[in-house]
Every structure is written in C-alpha cells, then in structure tokens.
Chain A
Amino acid sequence: MSDPVQSGSDDERVKSTSPLRKALLRPELGAIFGTMVVFAMFALLASDSGMFSAAGILNWSTVSAQFAIIAVGACLLMIAGEFDLSIGSMIGFAGMSIALLAVTFGWPMWAAILVTFGVCLAIGALNGFIVVKTGLPSFIVTLALLFILRGFTIFVPQTLERKTIIGGIREAAEGDWVASLFGGKILQPLFSWMGDNGWIEVYDRGINAGKPIVDGIPALVVWALVLIVFAHVLLTRTRFGNWIFASGGDARAASYVGVPVNRVKILMFVFTAFCATVLATCQVMEFGSAGADRGVLKEFEAIISVVIGGALLTGGYGSIIGAGLGALIFGVVQQGLFFAGVESSLFRVFLGLILLLAVVLNTYIRRLITGER
C-alpha cells in the first residue's frame, strides 16, 4: 500500500474510511473470526473430554504446527500465483532420504540432514524451473513430481533394504546437534516445575512417574512459529514481499516494471520444498523411522489451510498470519472432532463441512469489508 500524495480528508476523489474499517481491511480477518468460532464451538462440545488439558492442547497444537509449516510455504507460493502438489510426496521423499543416508549408508546424521535439504531444495528449484521454462500450469508439473517422488520413495528403500519402513533413526541421531534442532524440545525445566506444582498432569506409573505428561514444547511447534514470523516479515516488510504479490497479481505487468518474476517463482518453489523438508525432518526425528507412505495428501491440507486463511487460489492476495490461523483451525477441528467423540465414518463429512463453512464465511467477510463482488 503506497501513501497517497495528499491526505484523504481534503481530497474529494479519495473516499474516506474510518480507522476501524482500515484495521479490518486484512485478508486474515475471516480466519481470526473463524478461529474464535471454532474455539467457542469446541469449548461447548468437548470441554470435559481432556481437549483443553495440557496433553490435549499439545496434541492439537502439534497437528496444527504440522499444517502450519507446510502452509507457510504453500501460502507464499500461492500468492506468487503458483501451486505445488508435490508437497506430500516431498515429505515422504525427504524423510526416506534422511533414513537411507543415515541408517543404510551410515552417514553422520548432520550430513544426512544437510544433503537431504540440498537435494530437496534442488528438486524444488527444478519444479520452478520447469514451470517457468515451459509455461505449463504448475498444477500439472507438480502433479507429475508427486508421482515421481512417491515412486522413488517406495522403490529405493525396497531395492536397498527390502522394506518400506526404515527405522533406527533415533539411535543414529543420538547426540547430534543438528538433529536436536528438529527433534528436541524446549522449556523443559518450566514444564517440570509446573508439573511439580500440580498445575499440569503428571505420569502416575512407569519410569516417568512424577514427570509431566507434557515435558516441553516440541521443535515442530517452534519451527512453525519461526517460519510464520519469517515469512510474514518477508511478505509485508520487504521489497521482495512486494515482488511476490506482484508476480501473482499480474506476472506480465510485474515483469514490465522490472520485477524478476521467474526468479521470484523459482525461489518460492524452493521455499515450499524447504518447508516440506523441515516437516519431514521433524517427523523422522520424532518417530525414529521413515515410511514410504508418509505425507500422503498433505499438499491438500496445506492448500486448505492457506485458503481458510483468506488467500485467493488465483494468486496476488493472501496473508501468512491467515495461513497460520487456517492451519490452527484445521488442526483444532480435526483433533477436536475426535475429542467430541464423533463417529469415525462421519468424521470426514464434518471436517469437510466445517472447512467449507470457514471458506464461505471468509469470502463473505472479505466482500463485506472490501466491497468487492
């Protein structure tokens, strides 16, 4: 938004808007309302089911953080006017790559992680390069990558190890500081102190008796927050952020005024691949194994989170805060339905209905405020 040369109040060509209205003119407004509605709903339905106990909160925050990590990448890419359907396959591929390098080939864990990041960012760049060079819709190009990556993820471990789940990652990651960036937990002393004071539940048997059930904030959640802050600042406070909006809004006009549209798009594909690899690394560190079927359909979860957050599928409009809230809504609804005891076969029906409602509400609010049709 550039400031008009004159102030709006004494220029009859500029419509005056109240400060309240100005504050509301944000893509994430719908997501903010949606978040409130969803929390109110589950406070009514699932208040006594443990959903808002420490363990329950950790549960839906972790799921939301998973969505948020990939939604941040997908959001920037979508604002830049492109899609990536290979996110889910990339998660499976990256996890498998770490497992094979570290366990099968016995590399040190930090090397396995760094090389995997290198390979995955290169694949992201390849995605972007093909899209930019051929002019094909990214929907098609990344759909091809979805199959190619998934195929390799199944084929390679089967050829090398005769199995599709490679374990033993936890042992290989022992004492590795790069690995602890993805699999560690923070604020553990704070949580044990809260447990000692009886503010959060503690285990009542086994080797962990007396320790809190929630013993820290997982790296996954920290990554989600860090990525949201980074991407939000990039998008709203830098020149590059304006380039992202411009590339997605009208690529031709943007390149006429000197925006390096192709470079922006390729970089956004790389960033999306980076986010998927972060999630994959966190997953294999937490679970100690990589499976060939990890991450199936995660690309749609990312896209849904972004759309709930108020971004347009056509590019040029959206917000990272919105995408983060969209991920939160999605995670809370998904796990909250379990807490509320919804029949498992109807689970997806409700999930779909609520997501649809969130998007409709979002669009409605946006139109109400911006006055667009």
Chain B
Amino acid sequence: MKSMFKALALTALVAVAPLASATVAQAEGEKYILVSHAPDSDSWWNTIKNGVALAGEQMGVEVEYRNPPTGDLGDMARIIDQAAASGPNGIITTLADYDVLSGPIRAAVDQGINVIIINSGSAEQAREVGAMMFVGQPEYDAGYAAGLRAKGDGVESFVCVNHVISNAAVAERCRGFADGLGIDLGESMIDVGQDPAEIKNRVMAYLSANPDVDAIITLGPTSADPTILALEENGMAGEIYFGTFDLGTEIVNAIKSGVIEWGIDQQPFLQAYLPVVIMTNYDRYGVLPGNNINSGPGFVTKDGLEMVEKYAGEYR
C-alpha cells in the first residue's frame, strides 16, 4: 500500500510540474481570449495567432488563443462556454455556424463580457448576438468581385477546390464567384478534404476528366499549395487561370512566378490585431469605433509583392 501512495504522489508531481511552468504568468492588464473554429491542421490561422500575440505585447494585455483540435463546432461551443466561465474582459470569436455558436456567445455577452466577431459570420449576425462589431471580409462580396475580375479576363468556366466543405461561409466565396462570372455554380465545387496528397490527386483527376475548364479557384493555402503541385505535374501551371483566396508562402511564390493570377487577402492579421486594440482602448478609455471593419478583400498581384513576401505566412 505504501509504495502505491508513493507512486501516486510521484505521478501527480510529474503531471503537475510541466503544467505549472506552462501556465501563463498572470499579467497585470486585461485578459482577452480569441476562439477560432480552425482544426490544428489549418496553417492559415498561424497569422491570427501571431497577430493576437503582437497586439497583446504592444497593448500590455494578456491574450489566449483557443481552438477545437478537430475543428468540431460542437467542441468550439464548449470552448466559448469555458472562456466565458474563466471571466476574461473580452472574447474574440468567429461565427462559423450561427445555430451552434449564437447561444454560447449571447450567454457570454449577458455575463458582461465584451465580444467581437471576426472572420466568419456577418455584420447582421454579429449585431444579433450582441457583439460590439464584426471584423472580417464579407465572403460573398469578395467572391463576386473576384468573379467580375475573372470575367473581364475572359474566363467562362471554373472549378472551386473546397477543403472546408462543412464551412457554409467559405462556400459563399464560390457562389459569389459564379454569380460574378454570370454562370451557375452547379457541379463546379469539389470537396477535396484536408490532406495535401489527396487534394493534389483529386485536382489532377478532376482536370483530366474535365479538360476544358478555364479557371481554378482555391479557398486557402490548404488547398492552394497542393493545387500548385498538381498543375506543375500535369503541365497546366501558368496555362490555366488560377486565383486563390488567402495568402501563404507558396501562394506568394506562385504569384511571383505567374502560376497564380491573383490572391485575395482578407488580412487575417487585422482580424486578430484590431479587436485586441479596440477592446483594450474600450476597457481603458471607453472609446469605440462606430462601425464594423472590413479587413478585406484586397487583391494581391505581381505588383507590390515585396511587403507581402517578407511577411507571408507570418503576418500576411
């Protein structure tokens, strides 16, 4: 029996030691928690993490980033509940599914916690859940603008490579693009999953089955990077009209080499950085901008790549 308790005590110590050192030292300032809907595997959100960390550093406040490891929105709802229960000054969260997340967000607002919605959702939805504002890129409008641009470049048909098929907001980009082109979305959206090798092979398979497609639209680095590889492999790189949403290191290189026509940057950095700054100033001085903030769309083409290149994948 004695040895058992000894073992127990030791185990407890071993378990606690790394935890204790990993907990953030309690800063003097306010505390804000950013909750995203991204699974761990999505590299795009690294920019959000960096943006929120930088803002925390500059404003002298404590910031935390939280996400559901598998991207399960049910888990995300629990994380918002948890964030509210830990009593921060503010919660910055995405609104990937209004039905699932509106309850927990409203409960946080009613507990006296300020909320800013970023990235997913809309200005109307942000108002409905009682958030202070919405910081993001209206997805449909961004897609529509891109569609108009492509139409001007003579595009008549396209395929939309969707790696987050369950995110309705992101699918709006393809719908907007189709409407901008003036064609029906129909069967042109393909579900490719999150695995790079699978994405690459599905794009190649689609292109060999539909050789007369004019354009490819990808919805982020997760689907763009493997698509670039697929085009290099089947010799269509630079031939086919290729536009993408969101930026990453590979995407910037491809814009430079002419494989990608344009990238639409929704400037995630601003989505993470601005809410922290806005909330801190609101908590300290009671000042608040009077409107929602559109962080995008911004078209990134060959001209003016220098800054983008320097910070691609980090702050851009």
Contacts and interface: CB of A to CB of B under 8 A. Distances in A.
Question: Does B associate with A?
Answer: yes
B69 A289 contact: no
Interface string B108-140: 011110000000000000000010000000000
Contacts of B198: none
Contacts of A360: 11
Interface stretch (B74-82, B238-246, B265-273): B74-82
A343 B22 contact: yes
B299 interface: no
A53 to B, nearest CB: 6
Contacts of A348: 40, 69
B72 A295 contact: yes
A58 B23 CA distance: 23
A341 B110 contact: no
A360 B171 CA distance: 45
Interface in A258-312: 283, 286-289, 291-297
B85 A50 contact: yes
Given A288-B100, A364-B7, A63 B78 contact: yes
Contacts of B130: 206
Interface stretch (B13-21, B141-149, B214-222, B275-283): B13-21
Contact of B191 (A45, A154, A203, A297): A154
A335 B166 contact: no
A341 B15 contact: no
Interface stretch (A36-44, A190-198, A241-249, A317-325): A36-44
A340 B23 contact: yes
Contacts of A350: 18-19, 22
A74 interface: no
A51 B14 CA distance: 22
Contacts of B81: 55, 58-59, 62
Contacts of B24: 341, 343
Contacts of A51: 85-86
B166 A357 contact: no
Contacts of B18: 350, 353
A165 B109 CA distance: 25
A180 to B, nearest CB: 16
B78 A335 contact: yes
A167 B99 contact: yes
Tell me if B's interface is mostly helix, strand, loop or mixed: helix
Contacts of B154: none
A296 B74 CA distance: 11
A337 B111 CA distance: 22
A361 B86 contact: no
Contacts of B99: 165, 167-170, 287-289
B72 A287 contact: no
Contacts of B166: 154, 164-165, 291-293
A118 B118 CA distance: 41
B282 to A, nearest CB: 15
B106 interface: yes
B67 interface: yes
B98 interface: yes
A41 B19 CA distance: 10
A167 B98 contact: yes
A341 B23 contact: yes
A173 B230 CA distance: 46
A242 B191 CA distance: 47
Given A165-B97, A364-B7, A294 B74 contact: yes
A334 B160 CA distance: 37
A339 interface: yes
Contact of B100 (A33, A164, A287): A287
A253 interface: no
B191 to A, nearest CB: 7
For chain A, the bracket of interface size reads 35 or more
A348 B67 CA distance: 11
B12 interface: yes
A175 to B, nearest CB: 19
A109 to B, nearest CB: 15
B84 interface: yes
Contacts of B70: 293, 296-297
Contacts of A167: 97-99
- Residue in B77, B100, B107, B130 whose Cβ sees the most chain A Cβ within 10 Å: B100
Contacts of B22: 342-343, 346, 350
Nearest to A163: B168
A345 B130 CA distance: 30
Contacts of B87: 49-50
Given A338-B86, A368-B4, A204 B14 contact: no
A341 B72 CA distance: 21
B255 interface: no
Contacts of B11: 37, 357, 360-361
A29 to B, nearest CB: 10
A204 B69 CA distance: 32
Contacts of A37: 8, 11-12, 15
B60 interface: no
Interface in A193-246: 201, 203-209, 213
A59 B85 contact: yes
Contacts of B258: none
Given A165-B97, A291-B166, A293-B72, A344 B85 contact: no
B204 interface: no
Interface string B1-44: 00110011001101110111011100000000000000010000
28 contacts: A37-B12, A45-B16, A45-B19, A50-B85, A50-B87, A59-B78, A158-B191, A164-B166, A205-B109, A206-B106, A208-B110, A213-B110, A287-B73, A288-B99, A289-B97, A291-B97, A292-B165, A293-B72, A293-B73, A295-B74, A338-B66, A339-B85, A341-B64, A344-B66, A348-B69, A353-B15, A357-B11, A357-B15
What are the 8 closest A-B residue pairs judged by CB atoms, nearest first?
A289-B99, A206-B110, A55-B85, A288-B99, A287-B100, A203-B110, A56-B85, A293-B166
Given A33-B8, A164-B168, 13 more contacts: A41-B16, A44-B16, A49-B87, A56-B85, A154-B165, A154-B166, A168-B99, A203-B111, A287-B99, A291-B97, A341-B64, A344-B67, A350-B18
